[in-house]
């Protein structure tokens, strides 16, 4: 069934630059603080943020069953909880309101005054209260690179990797929106061949280029989500930088997995781009050999062609694109991840988030972390200002970007940008 909001020929009466991430075919969802210090749920077209709370109060959604305060909230959780049929109806209706030939809002200056905000007047917030956050490890190239570096290039993938989407539980409380600076984390690391750990700032802070999807309430405790239904429970996607302290991780992670090496911060882009908006960019899923167990089998186009790139901006504002990758490189699809996650009956709630794992492509210029790009620091990455990087340095800003593009439309994610500040000073 076609989704009207995806019609590539549709134009809007709002100005939208040619290369904008946010044409009328996107219509992402987010939460923002207005110039009057009011928090509201909104969407974005071009460089305008649109207050959905105000639109709803003015009656623009009267034909859709919605509670009065559904958009007057500081998270999208309740709206996401309303389910796919409601998200789709709202997105289609927004598309209709802003369609170029529709005068109902276009010609109503009073309404426009309370509905439209220039992007530079507002402050984006975390779009959801993330109940549980899971991170997968689903790029074969990334897992192979890491396995080659730390174990054995001949047996880089562990035995379970090709049979299930390896994943682990992460920390929700430190997921932050783009623009929030972070501090270099402090902790225990073990110097080479030392017997005892030392204390201090991590020396190997890294980004991880990921995407993450946000779910709706999907099941009750004890019941799995079948793989062929899984996508119905995915609201949308964001860019995700899973900040990592490689030296802290190395010392702490055996046998229970990464902990403080990850939980100091993870950055998401603030606009959730719906799975509906990404429909035109479905591509074949990778062929999987050996064949997965039946509960993970799903034919068809369940991967998405999303171009990804990372800029590293130094303190003097010189930017270098250090990698270009693509979400379609993932070996395990989101549907498989969600089916696997729930095969044990694990309950999935509205606002849960699942990261893809670092998305590395097949070539060295498409790797998704400094660890891989500099190959453990052996091949420093050259920056445009003449300096070089093995890992991320103090006062560097890391910017993730992502977009889909075909001959008629470009759907983008904006950015997930984070500045790494120096560590707090400790008296120890």
Binding site for Ca(2+): which residues?
135, 208, 210, 242
> Stretches 85-93, 156-164, 274-282, 325-333: which one binds a copy of itself (CB under 8 A)?
156-164
Strands 388-389 and 381-382: antiparallel
Q: Of the candidates 291, 310, 403, 411, which has an alpha carbon nearest to the alpha carbon of residue 358? A: 310
Peptide bond into 90 cis (omega under 30): no
Q: Which of residues 272-311 bind a copy of itself (CB under 8 A)?
A: 290, 293-295
Kindly list the catalytic residues. 142
Q: Report whether 49 contacts 270 (CB < 8 A).
A: no
Identify the residue among 41, 105, 115, 245 touching a copy of itself (CB under 8 A). 245
| Residue that is written with structure tokens 């991840």 in the block | 337
Q: Report whether 139 contacts 356 (CB < 8 A).
A: yes
DSSP 427: -
The rounded Cα 30 to chain-centroid distance in angstroms is 13
Nearer Cβ to a copy of itself, position 306 or 420? 420
Q: Which of residues 83-122 bind a copy of itself (CB under 8 A)?
A: none
- Contact pattern for a copy of itself over residues 189 through 208, marking x by CB under 8 A: -x-----xx-x---------
Peptide bond into 73 cis (omega under 30): no
Nearer Cβ to a copy of itself, position 100 or 293? 293
Nearer Cβ to a copy of itself, position 285 or 350? 350
Distance in angstroms (rounded) separating the CA atoms of residues 402 and 239: 7
Applying CB under 8 A, does 167 fall inside the site for a copy of itself? yes
Structure tokens at 151: 């174990």
Applying CB under 8 A, does 131 fall inside the site for a copy of itself? yes
Applying CB under 8 A, does 375 fall inside the site for a copy of itself? no
> Stretches 10-18, 42-50, 114-122, 347-355: which one binds a copy of itself (CB under 8 A)?
347-355
Helix (H) or strand (E) holding 266: strand 266-268
Applying CB under 8 A, does 1 fall inside the site for a copy of itself? no
Applying CB under 8 A, does 185 fall inside the site for a copy of itself? yes
Q: DSSP for 49-85? A: EEEHHHHHHTTTTTTS---TTTTSSSSSHHHHHT-HH
> Stretches 37-45, 105-113, 172-180, 375-383: which one binds a copy of itself (CB under 8 A)?
172-180
CA distances from 203 to 189, 235, 245, 314, 315 (A): 9, 37, 8, 17, 18
Applying CB under 8 A, does 368 fall inside the site for a copy of itself? no
CB of 295 to a copy of itself, least distance (A): 7
Distance in angstroms (rounded) separating the CA atoms of residues 228 and 237: 19
Interface ranges with a copy of itself (CB under 8 A): 131-132, 134, 137, 158-160, 163-164, 166-174, 176, 180, 182-183, 185-188, 190, 196-197, 199, 221-224, 245, 248, 251-261, 263-265, 290, 293-295, 340-341, 343-349, 352, 424, 426, 428
């Amino acid at each position: 069934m076609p989704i009207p909001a995806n019609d590539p020929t549709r134009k809007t009466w709002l100005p939208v630059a040619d290369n904008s991430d946010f044409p009328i075919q996107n219509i992402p969802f987010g939460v923002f603080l207005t110039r009057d210090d009011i928090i509201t749920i909104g969407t974005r077209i071009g460089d305008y943020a649109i207050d959905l709370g105000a639109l709803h109060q003015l009656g623009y959604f009267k034909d859709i069953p919605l509670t009065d305060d559904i958009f007057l909230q500081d998270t999208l959780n309740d709206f996401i909880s309303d389910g796919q049929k409601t998200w789709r109806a709202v997105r289609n209706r927004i598309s209709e309101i802003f369609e170029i030939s529709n005068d109902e809002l276009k010609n109503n200056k009073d309404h426009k005054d309370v509905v439209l905000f220039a992007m530079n007047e507002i402050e984006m917030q975390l779009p959801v209260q993330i109940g549980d956050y899971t991170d997968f490890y689903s790029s074969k190239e990334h897992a192979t690179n890491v396995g080659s570096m730390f174990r054995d290039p001949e047996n880089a993938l562990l035995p379970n990797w090709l049979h299930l989407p390896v994943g682990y539980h992460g920390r929700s409380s430190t997921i932050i929106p783009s623009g929030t600076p972070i501090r270099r984390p402090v902790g225990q690391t073990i110097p080479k061949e030392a017997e005892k750990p030392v204390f201090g700032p991590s020396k190997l802070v890294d980004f991880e280029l990921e995407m993450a999807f946000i779910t709706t309430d999907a099941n009750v405790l004890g019941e799995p989500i079948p793989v062929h239904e899984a996508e119905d429970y995915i609201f949308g996607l964001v860019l995700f930088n899973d900040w990592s302290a490689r030296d802290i991780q190395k010392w702490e992670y055996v046998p229970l997995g990464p902990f403080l090496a990850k939980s100091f911060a993870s950055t998401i882009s603030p606009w959730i781009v719906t799975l509906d908006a990404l429909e035109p960019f479905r591509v074949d899923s990778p062929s999987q050999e050996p064949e997965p167990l039946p509960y993970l089998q799903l034919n068809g186009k369940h991967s998405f062609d999303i171009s990804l790139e990372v800029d590293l901006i130094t303190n003097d504002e010189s930017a270098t694109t250090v990698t270009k990758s693509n979400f379609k490189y993932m070996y395990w699809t989101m549907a498989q991840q969600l089916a696997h996650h729930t095969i044990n009956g694990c309950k999935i709630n509205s606002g849960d988030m699942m990261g893809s794992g670092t998305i590395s492509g097949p070539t060295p210029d498409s790797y998704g972390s400094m660890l891989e790009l500099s190959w453990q620091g052996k091949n420093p990455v050259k920056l445009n200002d003449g300096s070089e990087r093995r890992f991320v340095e103090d006062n560097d800003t890391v910017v993730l970007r992502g977009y889909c593009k075909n001959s008629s439309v470009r759907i983008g994610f904006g950015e997930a940008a984070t500045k790494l500040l120096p560590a707090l000073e400790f008296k120890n």
